[in-house]
Amino acid sequence: MKQYCQDTLDKAYLLLDGEGSPEEREEIRVHLEECSPCYERYGLDAEVKKLMSRLQGCTPCPDNLRTKISEMLQSQ
């Protein structure tokens, strides 16, 4: 990977965390539009980060609730 691409992706990851100036955001956007390998890598990583963020606050279903739901579904 070219050093410029690596530097741009490093900055792009900051965007995922809500950081970066409008100028940096524009620079990254232009690079991602022009460089398909970086676009693909950033897109994949962005989706993984989104998924991880959603799962962090997830609380597992208590066993007694799972049992009640299963029983209700079976009785229908």
CB-based contact 31:8 (threshold 8 Å): yes
Q: How far, in Å, CA of 74 to CA of 31, rounded? A: 54
| Percent of the chain predicted with pLDDT > 90 | 1
Provide the pLDDT for residue 57: 67
Cβ partners under 8 Å of residue 65, min gap 6: none
Cβ partners under 8 Å of residue 42, min gap 6: 9, 12, 32
Band of residue 71 on the pLDDT scale cut at 50, 70, 90: confident
Smallest CA-to-CA distance from 20 within 48, 32, 36, 29 is with: 29
- The pTM of the full predicted model, rounded to 2 decimals, is 0.52
Domain-wise residue ranges, the chain: 3-75
Mean pLDDT of 22-34: 85
Output the average pLDDT for the chain. 79
